[in-house]
Chain A
Amino acid sequence: MTSVTIAPGSADVSAAPRITGSGRGRAWAYVARKAGLLLLTLWAAITLNFILPRLMPGSPADAALAKLAQNGPVSDATKAAIEAQLGVPTGNILEQYVAYLHQVVTLDFGVSYTFYPQSVSELVSTALPYTLVLVGVVTIIAFVLGTLLGVLAAWKRGTWLDTLPTLAGSFASAFPYFWTALLLLFFAGYVGRLFPTSGAYGPTATPAFTIGFLGDAIYHAALPALTILITSLGGWILGMRNTMISTIGDDYVTFAEANGLKPRTVALRYAARNAILPNLTSFGLALGGVVGGSILVERVFGYPGIGYLLFNAVTNQDYPLMQALFLMITVSVLIANFLVDILYGVLDPRTRR
């Protein structure tokens, strides 16, 4: 062979991408970038929450006065009283903005119209724990359980382990929330008398961190929790099953089998480990939605969480309460997404670059 020989391996080794920076340095840069993005979107959301109501014509006081004016002339004293009660913006827009930012930071969202004279922050802080525990815990349980069942269904594709959860899951999630809630309420509540039908705790209990109260609270949360679990589980099963079936077809899974890895390793560390990544995004959105509560479920079960509060705020046109709740929901979605981004960075080395 009369030719210039190539040192074996030299051609492709030199073509490898240069890897700069230490792994840890890159990881921190990634977190910093995501945190910066979070702060920026937070600021935008808070500012939008300030601008939007100001784009609407009139003010709450105007609306209240117009309603009164239908019943006859309104005296100046009444007008002054209503304006004092509902507040009329003072100062230019910048001063208002600064004052608003100050209020947001100190969590001062004013006084609720509906539950006057209770402050908005008081109402929210009473309702929040119930929703966080009920919807939050159930969302996590549903995600974990649904993902596991999805993994099993995909790995045992075509067997009863696949068809049963897949069919049952899609069947249950096709029901509207409130319909499942009403069915449970009727059969497990009124007919079976297994669980209480309304409220977060019994009439004799007082909220406190005692074993007795917590047991009572869990007992009361059973039906709403079951409703959310039943209706959301199917989505997680199907989502995980479908992404995993596609990763099972990927070359690295075939290669892992060709190398004789244990089926368990192939299923969990190769197929499922990669399949779970896209599902994390939906999980992040679901987590963010937790704070918004589950309006229909909380309404049906008379559960005193954020969803119930939001329902009351909307039906009573309680602007301060609504504004605070909307802001809180937006912020928690953003934070949940940030956390999922960080988790993504931990689980998927490709995103860290």
Chain B
Amino acid sequence: MTALLEITDLSVDYGEGAGSTHAVNHVSFTLEHGEFVGLVGESGSGKSTLGFAVTGLSKPPARVVGGSILLDGVDIASLSQADLREQRHGGIAMVLQSGMNALNPVRSIRNHFVDIFRAHGHVARGDWASRAAELVGKVELPASVLDRYPGELSGGMRQRVSIALALSLEPKLMVFDEPTTALDVLVQHAVMDTIIELQKKENFTALLISHDLGIVLESAQRVLVMHEGEIVEDAPSRQILEKPSDDYTKMLLSHYADPRAEVVELPGFEDRHRTPAAAHPPTVSSRTRRQDQKAIVVDHVSKVYPAPRRGEPQVTAVDDVSFTLEPGQSLALVGASGSGKSTLAKLITAVEKPSSGSVRFGDLDVGSLRRGQFRRLHRDVQMVFQDPYAALNPLHTVEYTLTRPVVNFTGLKGLDARRRVLELLDTVGLSPVEEFAAKLPHQLSGGQRQRVVIARALASNPQVIIADEPVSMLDVSLRAGVLALLEDLREQWGVSLLYITHDLLSARVVTDNIMVLNGGRVVEHGNTAEVLRNPSDEYTIRLLDAIPNPGRRDVA
């Protein structure tokens, strides 16, 4: 039997002439009928560009400059636009990266199906309604979603709808480009399960493009690892897991571990055997430096928001939460989206006021600060945000971004302020410091930007850093570096850390204690290693199970 898809020597360039770059560089691989294959790589590896080329969706400035893409012997790259459109029924379908935005906001779900049926004429008019209902049923949605508009559905439901739409084309090959990336962990898990089951039942060939080796290894039989435009490894999943041959694959694999394991080691993090008793006694230097350290005391705090629409109940985002963050301690705040962890961060930074209970920082009652007192709080409690791409003003140099808080909070001026800025850059590991000081955000990588954001948070010499998903937008290989930086800050400067995340593995390596939130309530609280190794709450267990685990398919 011949292969379904045969890609030979494919190259895709961005731009033309001297300024062009090779995004995909002489790539060759084949997909057999009914296979489930993963394509893994970090941002900029060319994996999405490859996906778009395979589906005939490359748009300028991307250009296919060489090679062939044979689907059942027909070269996709040489088809005319009209022929390409025709082959989309019964050919290649694609589910896009941000599936949440893949639906036309002003068209009902039903009309999305109708548009496809009408374009290809493969479903008789009388069967439109039943076929559409059947298709949404396949992705485990009720037929009632057909009369909804995309804005009325959750992210997971929208992604399911786009899968059903792609399925309606009766494709031989489905390309999934990061199908679950923007979704919440639990939803992500459920959608992946649906994709895996569908692939078995409907018997299409699947190409799953993802940055997450864990997700890919869990679902795919074979994995292609892509790095800088080239496929560096093409091997069955088991072999990738057990005997990876390429260094890049090995590096990617090294960033996965089971947070439930007795010993968890990541690159840059030797195992520390955290126990409550031995939780990092501060070193002598940091103790002398920080004699006035204060704890954050959250005491029976609730936050209730008014009903979003009339006739609906009010929303309790945080429900009777109490904890203390001691100086120099690190605490992970874990939960799926909507669990109230970000609201809690807002309460601690006085962005929101608690509906009941109190938040205290030393002698400061955070919940009832008056104008002018915020400065005192914000000098000592600083935030690091999730999205390093949005957290920096693109028009300001790094030096300007850092000088402002230095001048505002420490009163240093002129040369002293500049010296402090360079010192901060050195602290977060951006050297040569002078060179980085002069750069604009777009000249920095994601990891470098996040380091600038951390340096900005450090400018006021804070006692507490609240990091809200600081690494979730970064490539796996960059995560460890940023996490290690946060850890160093705590050990060397005695900064306490409130680490908000849904990623239990990173929580395991950077925090002493953990608190699991569900629906605004604390469902589990204790030493991080102990809680993750012996979870008692069902929700914690579900979160742990939702973590992509390269070895899971193996176990099952």
A56 within 8 A of B: no
Q: Give the contacting residue for A8; candidates B96, B119, B142, B194; CB below 8 A.
A: B194
**A252, B149: Cβ atoms under 8 Å?**
no
Q: Which chain A residues lie closer than 8 Å to B105 at the CB level?
A: 252, 274, 348-350
Name A1-31 residues within 8 Å CB distance of B: 1, 3-4, 6, 8-13, 15-21
A174, chain B: closest CB distance, angstroms: 29
Task: Tell yes or no: A314 within 8 A of B by CB.
Answer: no
Is A258 an interface residue, CB under 8 A from the partner?
yes
Q: Using Cβ atoms and an 8 Å threshold, which residues of chain A touch B107?
A: 269-270, 273
Give the Cβ gap from A270 to chain B, nearest Cβ, in Å: 5
- Is A260 an interface residue, CB under 8 A from the partner? yes
Whether the Cβ atoms of A256 and B96 lie closer than 8 Å is no
State whether the Cβ of B555 lies closer than 8 Å to any Cβ in chain A.
Answer: yes
Which residues of chain A in 238-279 are interfacial with respect to chain B, using CB atoms and an 8 Å cutoff?
250-252, 254-263, 265, 269-270, 273-274, 277
A347 within 8 A of B: yes
Say yes or no: A269-B116 contact (C-beta < 8 A), given A259-B166, A350-B151: no
- Does A15 lie within 8 Å of B187, measured CB to CB? yes
A18 and B312: CB pair below 8 A?
yes
* Chain A 57-82 interface residues, beta-carbon cutoff 8 Å to B: none
B93 near A259: Cβ-Cβ < 8 Å: yes
What is the distance, in angstroms, from A329's C-beta to the closest C-beta of chain B?
32
Known: A250-B101, A349-B105, A350-B149. A11 touches B88 (CB 8 A): no
Does the CB pair B120–A9 fall under 8 Å?
no
Are A265 and B96 in touch, CB under 8 angstroms?
no
Please tell me if the beta carbons of A256 and B541 are within 8 angstroms of each other in the complex: no
Is the pair A265, B311 in contact by a Cβ cutoff of 8 Å?
no
User: What is the chain B residue whose CB lies nearest that of A252?
Assistant: B104
A265 in contact with B140 given A4-B545, A15-B156, A260-B169 (CB within 8 Å): no
For A19, A258, A277, A348, the residue with the greatest tally of chain B CB atoms inside 10 Å of its CB is A258
Q: Which among B157-165, B209-217, B463-471 touches the partner chain?
A: B157-165
Q: What CA separation (Å) do A281 and B176 show in the bound complex? A: 38
What chain B residues lie within 8 Å of A252 (beta carbons)?
101-105
A18 to B197, CA, bound (A): 28
From B193, which residue of chain A is reached at the shortest CB distance?
Answer: A8
Instruction: Specify which chain B residues have a CB less than 8 angstroms from the CB of A269 in the assembled complex.
Output: 104, 107, 115
Closest to A260 in B: B88
B367 within 8 A of A: no
Q: Is the CB of A251 within 8 A of B193?
A: no
Q: Which residues of B contact A4 (CB under 8 A)?
A: 538, 541-542, 545
B106 contact set on A, CB distance < 8 A = 273-274, 277, 347-350
For residue B280, CB closer than 8 A to chain A, the reply is no
What's the Cα separation between A261 and B168 when bound, in Å?
12
CB distance from B293 to the nearest CB of A (A): 40
B502 → chain A closest CB, angstroms = 13
Whether B169 pairs with A8 at a CB distance below 8 angstroms is no
Known: A13-B141, A255-B102, A273-B104. A1 touches B552 (CB 8 A): yes
- Contact (Cβ within 8 A) B312 A260: no
Q: Which of B105-159 contact A (CB under 8 A)?
A: 105-108, 115-116, 118-120, 139-142, 148-149, 151-157
From A4, A254, A255, A262, name the one whose CB has the most chain B CB atoms within 10 angstroms: A255
Question: Which of chain A's residues have a CB closer than 8 A to the CB of B119?
Answer: 259-262, 265
> Do the beta carbons of A16 and B154 come within 8 Å of each other?
yes
Chain B interface category by residue count: 35 or more
Q: Are B101 and A260 in contact (CB under 8 A)?
A: no
A19 near B148 (CB under 8 angstroms)?
yes
Cα distance A251–B102 when bound, in Å? 5
User: Is the Cβ of B96 less than 8 Å from the Cβ of A9?
Assistant: no
> What's the Cα separation between A256 and B119 when bound, in Å?
10
CB distance from A348 to the nearest CB of B (A): 6
**Shortest Cβ distance from residue A161 to the other chain B in the assembled complex, whole angstroms:** 17
B55: interface (CB < 8 Å)? yes
Asked if A6 meets B542 with Cβ closer than 8 Å, knowing A254-B57, A349-B149, the reply is yes
Q: Known contacts A1-B552, A18-B312, A259-B88; decide if A12 and B191 are in contact (CB<8 Å).
A: yes
Q: With CB as the reference atom, state the residue of chain B lying closest to A257.
A: B57
Closest to B55 in A: A258
Q: In the complex the two chains form, is A255's CB within 8 Å of B162's CB?
A: yes
Contact A21 B552 (CB under 8 A): no
The reply to whether the CB of B378 lies closer than 8 angstroms to some CB of chain A is no
Contact between B140 and A13 (Cβ–Cβ < 8 Å)?
A: yes
Bound: A3/B547 CA distance, A:
12
Kindly list chain B residues whose C-beta atoms are within 8 Å of the C-beta of A251. 96-99, 101-102
Q: Which residue of chain A lies nearest to B60 when distances are taken between CB atoms in the complex?
A: A158
| B556 at the A interface (CB under 8 A) | yes
* CA distance in complex: A19, B541 (Å): 31
Known A-B contacts A16-B154, A252-B101; A258 and B93 likewise in contact (beta carbons under 8 Å): yes
Taking CB atoms, residues of chain B closer than 8 Å to A19 are: 148, 152
Q: A1-B552, A255-B96, A259-B88 given as contacts; is B541 within 8 A of A12 (CB)? A: no
Rounded to whole angstroms, the CA-CA distance of A134 and B103 in the bound complex is 41
A2–B197 Cα distance when bound, in Å, is 19
**Given A4-B541, A21-B311, A259-B119, A270 contacting B152 (CB threshold 8 A):** no
Q: How far is the CB of B258 from chain A (nearest CB, A)?
A: 12
- Interface contact A1-B86, CB-CB below 8 Å: no
Report B70-92 residues with CB < 8 Å from chain A CB: 81, 85-89
- Assembled-state Cα–Cα distance A251/B115 (Å): 16
A51 CA to B538 CA, complexed, in Å: 67
Residue picked from B98, B104, B187, B193, most chain A C-beta under 10 Å: B104
Q: From known contacts A11-B187, A15-B338, A258-B94, infer whether A1 and B555 are also in contact, taking CB-CB under 8 Å.
A: yes
Residue of B nearest to A20 (CB): B311
Given A20-B311, A252-B104, A349-B151, are A258 and B140 neighbors across the interface (CB < 8 Å)?
Answer: no
A347 neighbours in B (Cβ, 8 Å): 106
The reply to whether B93 and A11 form a contact with Cβ atoms under 8 Å apart is no
**Given A251-B102, A252-B102, A274-B106: A16 in contact with B542 (beta carbons within 8 A):** no
Q: List 12 A-B contacts (CB under 8 A).
A: A6-B190, A9-B139, A12-B186, A13-B140, A15-B156, A15-B184, A252-B105, A256-B115, A258-B88, A259-B166, A349-B108, A353-B309
Contacts A13-B157, A260-B88 known; 16 new A-B pairs at CB < 8 A: A1-B555, A9-B160, A11-B184, A11-B189, A13-B156, A15-B338, A18-B312, A250-B101, A251-B97, A252-B104, A254-B57, A258-B57, A259-B169, A260-B169, A263-B85, A349-B105
Residues of A within 8 A of B (CB): 1, 3-4, 6, 8-13, 15-21, 250-252, 254-263, 265, 269-270, 273-274, 277, 347-350, 353
